[in-house]
């Protein structure tokens, strides 16, 4: 009776105390589960005999600023012990500024057994771009989902972590293919930005995919441009809504016609998918170093097969298909065709979103990124030539997103590069 009277007279303090106790129990349970999971993983690693007779060298590209500066601590707590137990010699390279890791990898003299990417989508994009600019053989990579979103890394895992325990499980799961030497060849998107002089030549009779005004950018995940990308970029501004910030960003801008770019306009020129021919698969010129000193390469390209199509001529390979589109969102991904097993670009166009009540009704699909595309086209290459509509007034600048990295909207060319990089994944 006394206890009930106390709760009734001090219900606010009682409610607060109950919340603190509940959080304490949840934190203790999570910590216990994580410790048990790490004990099991470490025990399995040792029991399966993963320890190398001769230590293999791995380079860890660590972005300390990733995930609100939590990435470094999580790597050292849950990833580094597994690498050491497996007998790997680990060198950690911390990124200090944008572009730092690109320069370091391009100038790297000794190629390691693998490169472990400990960061988010931006770090993964820099590593992939740097490795493909080297053009001296493939160095497999491991993608750890240590960023805030880590869409690129989670692409290779059958899980989407919602709490700390699931995040730790995703990290240990991402390392298992490295310990088991499971390597997969992955195709990438090669993005070249085009200058004004080249833009005037795009609609000529022949498409030349190699012309560019700067060094290319390579992506493993996706190219995004439009309303949904803009909404995603402003989500963090509504941090005070906590887990509901995505809903807040979408709903509070559902009627805004000034802050968001509701419509994009672009000309495009694309070529149809090709299984490979003498035009799109140039003959490889191996250097003498790679030809005669192959043992210097710690990872050999044993999974590669000779592409017999490289000697064939496909008359449709350079066929141009031109068009124009006005849409809300444009998504381009690099996928493998389930029927022909060839890599191709898949462009999805969404053009049915308008500010107002109709957009509010589609908020759940927008949050889950589950909006159905109105049209889809498949290609080997595609060029986008953005157009500025005279009647469109907006205070927001337009940007592209390539694997989470932001770029100004300008003419560009995207080309699929089959089996360009190796990824440790199941």
DSSP state string for 210-221: T--SS--EEESS
Q: What is the pLDDT of residue 137?
A: 64
Phi, psi of 193 (to 5 degrees): -85, 140
Q: Give yes or no: residues 137 and 229 share one domain.
A: no
CB-count exposure of residue 244 (10 Å: 0-12, 13-18, 19+): exposed
Rounded distance, CA 206 to CA 266, Å?
20
- Distance, in Å, from the CA atom of 419 to the CA atom of 48, rounded to the nearest integer, reads 31
For range 250-270, the mean pLDDT = 85
CA distance 285 to 219: 24
Q: How far is CA 107 from the centre of its chain?
A: 24
> 214 in a domain, yes or no?
yes
- 355 and 213 both lie in a single domain: yes
Q: Indicate the pLDDT class of residue 280, thresholds 50, 70 and 90.
A: low
Concatenated DSSP letters of 271-294: E---S--TTTSPPP---HHHHH-G
Burial 271-281 (b: 16+ CB within 10 A, else e): bbbbbbbebbb
Same domain, residue pair 164 and 298? no
Written as six digits, the tokens of 290 are: 């790679």
Q: Centre a 10 Å sphere on the Cβ of residue 140 and count the other Cβ atoms it contains.
A: 25
Domain annotation covers residue 3: no
Domain co-membership, 334 together with 223: yes
Give yes or no: residues 225 and 141 share one domain: no
The overall average pLDDT reported for the chain is 81
Is the predicted pLDDT of residue 316 greater than 80, yes or no? no
Residue 296: per-residue pLDDT = 41
CA distances for 106 relative to 20, 93, 135, 340, 424, angstroms? 51, 14, 10, 35, 21
As a whole number of angstroms, the distance between CA 139 and CA 422 comes to: 7
pLDDT of residue 91: 93
**Helix or strand (DSSP H, E) at 348:** strand 343-350
Q: Are residues 265 and 309 in the same domain?
A: yes
Contact 172, 78 (CB under 8 A): yes
- Same domain, yes or no, for 86 and 229? no
Distance of CA 424 to the CA centre of its chain: 15
Domain membership of residue 25 (yes or no) is no
8 A C-beta contact, residue 117 and residue 130: no
- Tens-place pLDDT, residues 223-252: 999 999 988 888 888 888 888 888 888 888
For the chain, helix (H) and strand (E) counts, in that order, are: 15, 16
87: left (phi over 0), alpha (psi -120 to 50) or beta: left
Tokens of 16: 């607060």
Q: Give CA–CA dist 275/281, Å, rounded.
A: 10
Interatomic CA distance for residues 146 and 255, integer angstroms? 35
Are both 258 and 351 inside the same structural domain? Answer: yes
Q: Name which residue leads in pLDDT, 161 or 19.
A: 161
Backbone angles phi, psi at 340, to 5 degrees: -95, -10
User: Does 169 share its domain with 224?
Assistant: no
Residue 32 in any domain: the answer is no
**pLDDT for residue 301:** 43
In a domain, 33, yes or no: no
Query: Is 35 a domain residue?
Result: no
Res. 377: pLDDT tops 70? yes
Question: Do 346 and 378 meet the contact criterion of CB atoms below 8 Å apart?
Answer: yes
Residue 324 has pLDDT above 50, yes or no: yes
Pick from 75, 142, 63: nearest CA to 100: 63
369 & 331 share domain: yes
Tally the C-alpha atoms within 13 A of residue 259's C-alpha that lie toward its C-beta: 13
For residue 203, what is the domain's CATH number? 2.60.200
DSSP element (H, E) containing 169: helix 164-179
Mean of the pLDDT values across residues 76-99? 90
Q: Which of 99-103, 247-251, 315-319, 404-408 has the lowest mean pLDDT?
A: 315-319
CATH number (domain holding residue 92) = 3.40.50.10330
The pLDDT value recorded for residue 239 is 85
Identify the three-state secondary structure at position 103: helix
Is residue 426 a part of any domain in this protein?
no
Asked whether residue 21 is domain-assigned, the answer is no
* pLDDT score for 363: 87
Q: Are residues 163 and 232 in the same domain?
A: no
> Which structural domain range is residue 102 located in?
42-181
- Percent of the chain whose pLDDT exceeds 70: 78
Token pair belonging to 335: 């996928």
Residue 205's contacts (CB-CB under 8 Å, 6 or more residues apart) are 320
Q: What is the pLDDT of residues 158-209, one digit of tens each?
A: 888 888 899 999 999 999 999 988 999 999 999 999 875 555 554 454 444 4
Identify the domain boundary among 122, 151, 181: 181
Same domain, 322 and 408: yes
Domain count, the chain: 2
228 contacts: CB under 8 Å, gap ≥ 6: 328, 329, 350, 366, 369, 371
Report which of 142, 169, 168 is spatially closest to residue 88, judged by C-alpha positions. 142
pLDDT at position 167 is 92
How many angstroms separate the CA atoms of 194 and 215, rounded?
11
- Using the 3D structure, point to which of 124, 153, 181 is the last residue of a domain: 181
């Amino acid at each position: 009776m006394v206890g009930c009277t106390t709760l009734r007279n001090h219900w606010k303090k009682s409610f607060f105390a109950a919340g603190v106790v509940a959080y304490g129990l949840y934190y203790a349970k999570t910590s216990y589960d994580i410790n048990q999971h790490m004990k099991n993983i470490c025990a399995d690693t040792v029991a399966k005999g993963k320890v190398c007779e001769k230590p293999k060298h791995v380079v860890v590209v660590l972005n300390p600023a990733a995930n609100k500066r939590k990435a470094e601590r999580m790597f050292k707590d849950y990833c580094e012990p597994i690498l050491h137990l497996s007998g790997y010699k680990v060198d950690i390279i911390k990124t200090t500024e944008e572009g730092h890791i690109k320069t370091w990898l391009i100038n790297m003299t000794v190629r390691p057994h693998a490169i472990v990417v400990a960061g988010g989508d931006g770090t993964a994009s820099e590593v992939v771009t740097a490795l493909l600019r080297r053009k001296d053989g493939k160095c497999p990579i491991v993608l750890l989902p240590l960023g805030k979103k880590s869409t690129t890394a989670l692409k290779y895992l059958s899980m989407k972590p919602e709490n700390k325990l699931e995040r730790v499980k995703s990290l240990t799961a991402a390392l298992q293919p490295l310990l088991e030497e499971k390597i997969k060849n992955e195709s990438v998107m090669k993005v070249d930005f085009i200058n004004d002089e080249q833009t005037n030549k795009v609609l000529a009779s022949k498409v030349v995919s190699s012309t560019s005004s700067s060094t290319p950018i390579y992506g493993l995940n996706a190219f995004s441009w439009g309303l949904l990308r803009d909404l995603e970029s402003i989500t963090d501004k509504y941090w005070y809504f906590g887990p509901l910030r995505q809903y807040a960003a979408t709903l509070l801008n559902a009627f805004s016609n000034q802050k968001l770019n509701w419509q994009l306009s672009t000309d495009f020129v694309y070529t149809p998918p090709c299984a490979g021919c003498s035009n799109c698969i140039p003959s490889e010129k191996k250097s003498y170093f790679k030809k005669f000193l192959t043992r210097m390469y710690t990872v050999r390209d044993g999974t590669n097969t000779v592409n017999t199509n490289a000697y064939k001529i496909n008359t449709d390979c350079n066929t141009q298909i031109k068009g124009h589109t006005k849409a809300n969102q444009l998504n381009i991904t690099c996928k493998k065709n389930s029927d022909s097993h060839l890599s191709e670009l898949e462009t999805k166009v969404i053009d049915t979103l308008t500010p107002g009540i109709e957009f509010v009704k589609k908020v759940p699909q927008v949050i889950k990124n589950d909006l159905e595309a109105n049209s889809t086209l498949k290609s080997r290459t595609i060029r986008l030539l953005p157009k500025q509509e005279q009647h469109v007034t907006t205070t927001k600048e337009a940007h592209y997103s390539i694997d989470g990295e932001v770029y100004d909207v300008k003419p560009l060319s995207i080309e699929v590069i089959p089996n360009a990089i190796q990824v440790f994944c199941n």
